[in-house]
């Protein structure tokens, strides 16, 4: 595993006069679980969107599995703050539609993914009426639907109760163990203690430090 | 380079004065319209200049879009050449309605590949977009003049302010509307995406022009109405004055474009400086108590 | 012959529009140059 | 190639199902079209002889305004939860999304027209002097001309600040030849004094040119960020 799965070389992302990313450099390796921490406005979400190919860097390059983010889209699973699901459709209908985008036709795969995030495939209620926690799980299900090698998750545990957050962390750990690369932006760093292989700290659009685990007396402003 | 601007400015001033003299004094008085027809020496050159500027905007936009994606870069070169050649041939083969001389169409279409490669060479990458903004804005200024002088001319001669039947004037109006919406789009979207969106709209606008011309032309044959400047051929002396006037206008347009171009470059530098300032600003701010830097990403 | 008035009106309007536009360019130039100078000082 | 059509049909089916499930968008648009027609019939006296001659223009201007309001809703559902991002991350081709949305709009606007046209015929007791069957190609080609550009510019305007006003500003200037074609064609047939062939050819050319341009440039607009 010598070649990095994701290579980010001095990426700058400008929105008009504001620079969200200010020269980010990173090499991320396959089969690793990376936790991205930092205050609001540190550029975590922008970096995630850049990795997913949704935001083109103003300067600098990003290569994912040796390809550009756009061409590597089959291997990327992306989850964002908004649910990226249609509120009027039920969870299964949403997944069935998104599966079609990836060329997956069988329903069994959708049902299996829904069960793996701890939800009931037969639930007919539209996603709009889901609780926030359920909606995040269904959004995670959509992100892992096509079994991507790389998972880019933006605060998957926010407003999820502690019990189900623990389950989701277990699920992500299992995925990391099965060889996937995870890139998780979160404010609940404590949840990933002992799970994440590396913690990447971002501040003001740059990566300021990378630690193997959280410092023992960690009560920094980041964790809630 | 710096000294060239004032010299050119003087030359342009002289040319403009000479053209004014030609238009008002030297050119013969028109038989039917008397002296008021001399508006043509400002009305028509402004229109030609505006069309030239919009044409440059179209080619710059197409080139900018084509160069954006490496896959389309080569293909676009061949398409440009093909369009030029095929268009030139077609102009003479297909019977052209609307009294358009095939030579006019042929030169316009042949200009596409010529400009395509010229602009690509002298305005690489980002500069193409700066050129597109410049030509669009200055083009709209000249187009406004055409739309103002047109009615001023129609009023005394035909007693009507607006001649909807006049293909050229109505087409110019539609062209003006398209490029004003182009400028509005540029103002309303933030800088990162504007360039691609505006380039796409410029292509749409240009594709629209022939359709506008022919739809109004056919509309006019069904409902004939007065045409400004008459369709007939012009007295050669008048034509010479028209050419002099157009040359002066082209010099003037070049000057205005040059300064607007430099203005746009300066605006983008200031924009860049702001961003850089926020970049450097980040280092000086107090860093939060993030843990000590540890080993680089472990293998 | 009031038609001549229209001739002069057209010519004057043409230069009016051009001068107006060049005025905006000069104005924007000075504003941006001032802004640039501020950056040079910082 | 078939993946493009399968995704297009899937997206179209999804849109139609959602539209059918909550028919509020359709009902509100139908009522809006009815309002437009009634207001037009008040402002242009149906009994006057000239009104019959300009009826072609009235119908199409009314449809144009109803269509713009409908086209503004094209991407509303995708914007609510940024579902577009999910589409952009997937390998599905951008043109499939565009075609699905354009066809969806085409059906939607055709339904509006199916309501508005009879109303106009009733209010203005129109009778086509010329070959009435030619109205069908004019209506189909004209609606597609509005819808294909409308969907494209709607996608473009979601990237700008004031979204609702941007669409008509971008759409109307470019659509002028199509509007001329529709209005002149319809009037030619209603009054029967001119052949409408040229206008049908013009609309066909317009559709071909701008459908190609939309398919070529939609990817750039969708991924512009």
DSSP letter for each residue of B73-109 = HHHHHHHHHHHHHHHHHHHHHSPPSTT--HHHHHHHH
Query: What are the structure tokens assigned to D145, written together?
Result: 């001309």
Contact residues for D12 (Cβ-Cβ < 8 A; gap 6+): D100, D103, D104
At residue C30, the pLDDT reads: 94
| Complex confidence, ipTM | 0.88
CB of A56 within 8 Å of any CB in chain D?
yes
A22 contact residues in B (CB cutoff 8 A): 278-279, 282
| Burial readout D2-14 (b: 16 or more C-beta within 10 A, e: otherwise) | eeeebbbebbbeb
Of D157 and B106, the structure prediction assigns the larger pLDDT to D157
At residue B7, the pLDDT reads: 92
Number of H helices, E strands in chain B: 8, 0
Of D151 and B120, the structure prediction assigns the larger pLDDT to D151
Q: Which domain holds residue D175?
A: 2-222
* Tens of pLDDT, residues A168-200: 888 889 889 988 999 999 888 888 888 888 999
At residue B231, the pLDDT reads: 52
Query: What are the structure tokens assigned to A163, written together?
Result: 């019990």
As a whole number of angstroms, the distance between CA C25 and CA A79 comes to 46
B278, pLDDT greater than 80? no
Subunits in contact with chain D (3 or more CB pairs closer than 8 Å): A, B
Domain A6-86+148-211 annotated CATH 2.20.140.10: no
B114, pLDDT greater than 90? no
As a whole number of angstroms, the distance between CA B149 and CA C18 comes to 13
Beta pairing partners, B54? none
Parts of chain C with a pLDDT under 50: none
Confidence of residue D90 (pLDDT cuts 50, 70, 90): very high
Nearest one of D101, D89, D83, D80 to D10, comparing CA atoms: D101
At residue C1, the pLDDT reads: 55
Interface test with B, best of D220, D221, D222, D225 (most B CBs within 10 A): D220
At residue B136, the pLDDT reads: 96
Instruction: Tell me the pLDDT of chain D averaged across its residues.
Output: 90
For chains A and D, CB pairs below 8 A equal: 71
* Tens of pLDDT, residues D28-74: 889 999 998 889 888 887 777 777 778 889 899 999 999 999 999 88
Q: How many domains does chain D have?
A: 1
At residue B99, the pLDDT reads: 63
Calculate the alpha carbon distances from D183 to D53, D113, D138 in Å: 11, 14, 9
Smallest Cα distance from D164 to chain B, Å:
12
Q: What is the mean pLDDT of residues D84-111?
A: 94
Confidence of residue B230 (pLDDT cuts 50, 70, 90): low
Instruction: Tell me the pLDDT of chain A averaged across its residues.
Output: 87
At residue B227, the pLDDT reads: 60
Q: What is the mean pLDDT of residues B256-273?
A: 91
At residue B160, the pLDDT reads: 84
The three state secondary structure string of chain D is CHHHHHHHHHHHHHHHHHHHHCCHHHHHHHHHHHHHHHHHHHHCCCCCHHHHHHHHHHHHHHHHHHHHHHHCCCCHHHHHCCHHHHHHHCCCCHHHHHHHHHHHHHHHHHHHHHHHHHHHHHHCCCCCCCCHHHHHHHHHHHHHHHHHHHHHHHHHHCCCCCHHHHHHHHHHHHHHHHHHHHHHHHHHHHHCCCCCHHHHHHHHHHHHHHHHHHHHHHHHHHCCC
A110, pLDDT greater than 50? yes
At residue B236, the pLDDT reads: 82
At residue B174, the pLDDT reads: 92
At residue A2, the pLDDT reads: 64
At residue B295, the pLDDT reads: 38
At residue B299, the pLDDT reads: 34
At residue A86, the pLDDT reads: 92
Interface test with D, best of A84, A128, A153 (most D CBs within 10 A): A84
Each domain of chain A, given as residue ranges in start order, spans 6-86+148-211
Does B148 contact C33 at a Cβ distance shorter than 8 Å? no
Calculate the alpha carbon distances from D161 to B130, B184, B187, B197, D149 in Å: 22, 11, 9, 13, 20
Query: What are the structure tokens assigned to D160, written together?
Result: 């700008």
D221 contact residues in B (CB cutoff 8 A): 196-197, 200
Instruction: Tell me the pLDDT of chain B averaged across its residues.
Output: 82
* Tens of pLDDT, residues A80-96: 989 899 999 999 999 99
Q: Which of B275, B282, B299 sits opposite A17 (nearest CB)?
A: B275
Q: Residues of chain B whose C-beta is under 8 A from some C-beta in D?
A: 65, 68, 174, 177-178, 180-181, 184-185, 188-190, 192-193, 196-197, 199-201, 203-205, 207-208, 211-212, 214-216, 218-219, 222
CB of B169 within 8 Å of any CB in chain C?
no
Of A103-107, B28-32, B157-161, D21-25, the one with minimum mean pLDDT is B28-32
Q: What percent of chain D has pLDDT over 90?
A: 58
Q: What is the mean pLDDT of residues B201-211?
A: 92
At residue B297, the pLDDT reads: 34
At residue B98, the pLDDT reads: 60
Q: Residues of chain D whose C-beta is under 8 A from some C-beta in A?
A: 3, 6-7, 10-11, 14, 17-18, 21-22, 77, 80-83, 85-92, 223, 225
Q: What is the mean pLDDT of residues B68-92?
A: 82
B286, pLDDT greater than 70? no
Query: What are the structure tokens assigned to D196, written together?
Result: 């409408």
């Amino acid at each position: 595993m010598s070649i990095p799965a994701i290579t980010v070389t001095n990426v700058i992302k400008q929105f008009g006069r504001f620079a969200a990313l200010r020269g980010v450099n990173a090499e991320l390796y396959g089969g690793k679980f990376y936790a991205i921490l930092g205050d609001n406005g540190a550029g975590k979400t922008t970096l995630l969107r850049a990795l997913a190919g949704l935001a083109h860097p103003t300067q600098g390059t990003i290569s994912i599995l040796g390809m550009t983010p756009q061409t590597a889209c089959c291997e990327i699973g992306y989850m964002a703050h908004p649910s990226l699901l249609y509120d009027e459709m039920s969870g299964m209908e949403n997944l069935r539609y998104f599966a079609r985008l990836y060329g997956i036709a069988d329903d069994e795969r959708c049902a299996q993914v829904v069960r793996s995030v701890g939800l009931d495939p037969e639930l007919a209620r539209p996603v709009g009426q889901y609780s926030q926690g359920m909606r995040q799980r269904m959004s995670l299900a959509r992100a892992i639907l096509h079994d991507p090698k790389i998972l880019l998750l933006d605060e998957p545990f926010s407003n999820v109760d502690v019990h189900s957050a623990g389950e989701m962390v277990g699920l992500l750990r299992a995925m990391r163990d099965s060889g996937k690369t995870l890139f998780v932006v979160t404010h609940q760093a404590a949840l990933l203690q002992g799970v994440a292989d590396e913690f990447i700290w971002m501040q003001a659009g740059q990566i300021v430090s990378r630690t193997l685990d959280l410092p023992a007396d960690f009560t920094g402003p980041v964790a809630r | 380079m710096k000294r060239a601007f004032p010299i050119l400015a003087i030359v342009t001033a002289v040319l403009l004065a000479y053209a004014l003299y030609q238009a008002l004094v030297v050119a013969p008085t028109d038989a039917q319209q008397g002296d008021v027809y001399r508006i043509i020496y400002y009305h028509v050159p402004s229109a030609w200049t505006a069309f030239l500027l919009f044409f440059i905007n179209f080619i710059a936009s197409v080139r900018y879009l084509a160069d954006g994606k490496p896959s389309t870069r080569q293909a676009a070169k061949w398409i440009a050449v093909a369009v030029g050649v095929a268009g030139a041939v077609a102009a003479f083969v297909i019977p052209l309605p609307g009294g358009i001389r095939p030579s006019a169409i042929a030169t316009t279409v042949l200009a596409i590949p010529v400009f395509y490669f010229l602009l690509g060479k002298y305005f690489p990458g980002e500069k193409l977009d700066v050129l597109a903004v410049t030509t669009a804005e200055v083009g709209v200024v000249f187009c406004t003049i055409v739309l103002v002088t047109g009615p001023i001319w129609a009023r005394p001669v035909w007693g009507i302010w607006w001649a909807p039947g006049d293909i050229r004037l109505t087409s110019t109006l539609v062209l003006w509307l398209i490029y004003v919406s182009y400028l509005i789009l540029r103002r309303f979207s933030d800088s990162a995406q504007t360039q691609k969106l505006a380039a796409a709209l410029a292509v749409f606008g240009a594709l629209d022009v022939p359709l506008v011309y022919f739809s109004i032309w056919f509309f006019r044959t069904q409902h004939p109405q007065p045409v400004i400047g008459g369709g007939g051929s012009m007295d050669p002396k008048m034509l010479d004055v028209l050419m002099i006037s157009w040359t002066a206008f082209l010099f003037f347009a070049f000057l205005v474009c040059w300064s607007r171009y430099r203005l746009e470059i300066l605006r983008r530098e200031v924009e860049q400086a702001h961003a850089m300032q926020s970049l450097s600003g980040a280092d000086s701010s107090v860093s939060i108590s993030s843990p000590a830097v540890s080993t680089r990403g472990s293998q | 012959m009031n038609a001549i008035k229209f001739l002069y009106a057209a010519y004057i309007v043409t230069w009016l529009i051009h001068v107006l536009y060049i005025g905006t360019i000069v104005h924007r130039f000075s504003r941006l140059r001032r802004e640039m100078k501020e950056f040079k000082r910082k | 190639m078939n993946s493009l059509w399968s995704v297009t049909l899937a997206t179209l089916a999804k849109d139609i199902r959602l539209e059918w499930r909550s028919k509020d968008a359709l009902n509100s648009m139908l009522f809006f079209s009815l309002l437009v027609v009634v207001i037009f019939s008040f402002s242009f006296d149906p009994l006057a002889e000239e009104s019959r001659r300009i009826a072609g223009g009235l119908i199409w201007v009314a449809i144009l305004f109803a269509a713009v309001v409908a086209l503004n809703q094209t991407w509303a559902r995708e914007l609510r939860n940024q579902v577009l991002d999910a589409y952009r991350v997937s390998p599905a081709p951008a043109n499939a999304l565009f075609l699905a949305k354009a066809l969806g709009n085409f059906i939607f606007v055709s339904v509006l027209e199916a309501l508005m046209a009879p109303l106009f015929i009733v209010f203005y007791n129109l009778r086509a002097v010329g070959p009435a069957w030619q109205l069908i190609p004019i209506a189909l080609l004209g609606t597609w001309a509005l819808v294909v550009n409308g969907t494209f510019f709607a996608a473009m305007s979601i990237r700008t600040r004031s979204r609702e006003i941007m669409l008509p500003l971008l759409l109307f200037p470019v659509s002028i030849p199509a509007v001329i074609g529709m209005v002149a064609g319809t009037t030619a047939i209603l009054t029967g004094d001119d052949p409408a062939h040229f206008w049908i050819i013009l609309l066909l050319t317009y559709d071909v040119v701008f459908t190609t341009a939309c398919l070529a440039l939609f990817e750039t607009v969708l991924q512009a960020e």
